């Protein structure tokens, strides 16, 4: 199936957050990678690629790539805290990327690829700070992950959603970057 240019630029919908669920947005480099990991984590109800943390209203992927909107590529995670406590979500976060590199994950370079935790509540902030401090012992270099109050989440364009699942057989990035992350975490490739 081929998408028209208008379909490709159409934003995805933001999934609902059912009663009892919590939301956190994580930046760990390319959102395709982050989404692919969290879609497989037990207790995660949805993982949506998008943008957060910038100063431009309704940014597009092209604007984000020009490094002038201030946004990070993030994945908005809706989770059931009874099945996936935030501590478990953040434990996966520290394992899936290098939080010691500023504005970079592998070959992906720029402020849109920064390591970031966008919390919704003060309780989440406290858990994130504690988790970051505990994770530091696993890294030689200082963790540069920002922990910031969540602001407006802009879902990415439709063609960025479910990217790994829909493109893993034909996209080299999926094979070279995403699949090894999933393998390292013991997840389905």
Counting the structural domains of the chain, the total is 1
Residue 65 lies in a domain: yes
**Domain extent for 33:** 5-184
Tell me the pLDDT of the chain (189 aa) as tens digits: 334 444 456 888 887 889 999 999 999 999 999 999 999 999 999 999 999 999 999 999 999 998 889 999 999 999 999 999 999 999 999 999 999 999 999 999 999 999 999 999 999 999 999 999 999 999 999 999 999 999 999 999 999 999 999 999 999 999 999 999 999 999 998
Question: 78: how many CB neighbours lie within 10 A of its CB?
Answer: 19
Residue 168 lies in a domain: yes
Tokens of 33: 């990678």
Residue 83 lies in a domain: yes
What was the pLDDT predicted at 8? 54
Residue 92 lies in a domain: yes
Residue 159 lies in a domain: yes
Q: What is the Cα 146 distance to its own chain's centre?
A: 13
What was the pLDDT predicted at 5? 43
Residue 108 lies in a domain: yes
CATH code where residue 62 lies: 3.30.1060.10
Letter string b/e over residues 37-54, b meaning 16 or more CB atoms within 10 A of that residue's CB: bbbbbebbbbbbbbbbbb
What was the pLDDT predicted at 7? 47
Tokens of 80: 């059931």
Residue 189 lies in a domain: no
- Phi, psi angle pair for 73, to nearest 5°: -75, 125
Residues annotated catalytic, as ranges: 30
What was the pLDDT predicted at 68? 86
Q: What is the pTM of this model?
A: 0.93
Residue 95 lies in a domain: yes
- Phi, psi angle pair for 83, to nearest 5°: -100, -25
């Amino acid at each position: 199936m081929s998408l028209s240019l208008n379909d490709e630029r159409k934003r995805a919908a933001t999934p609902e957050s059912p009663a009892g669920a919590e939301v956190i947005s994580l930046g760990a480099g390319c959102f395709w990678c982050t989404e692919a990991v969290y879609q497989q984590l037990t207790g995660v109800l949805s993982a949506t690629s998008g943008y957060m943390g910038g100063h431009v209203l309704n940014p597009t992927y092209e604007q984000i790539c020009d490094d002038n909107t201030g946004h990070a590529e993030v994945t908005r995670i809706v989770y059931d805290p009874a099945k996936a406590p935030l501590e478990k979500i953040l434990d996966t976060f520290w394992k899936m990327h290098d939080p010691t590199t500023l504005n970079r994950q592998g070959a992906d370079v720029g402020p849109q690829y920064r390591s970031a935790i966008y919390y919704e509540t003060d309780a989440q902030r406290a858990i994130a700070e504690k988790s970051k401090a505990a994770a530091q012992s696993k890294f030689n270099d200082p963790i540069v992950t920002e922990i910031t109050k969540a602001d407006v989440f802009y879902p990415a364009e439709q063609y960025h959603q479910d990217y790994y699942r829909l493109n893993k057989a034909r996209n080299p990035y999926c094979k070279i970057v995403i699949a090894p992350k999933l393998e390292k975490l013991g997840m389905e490739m």
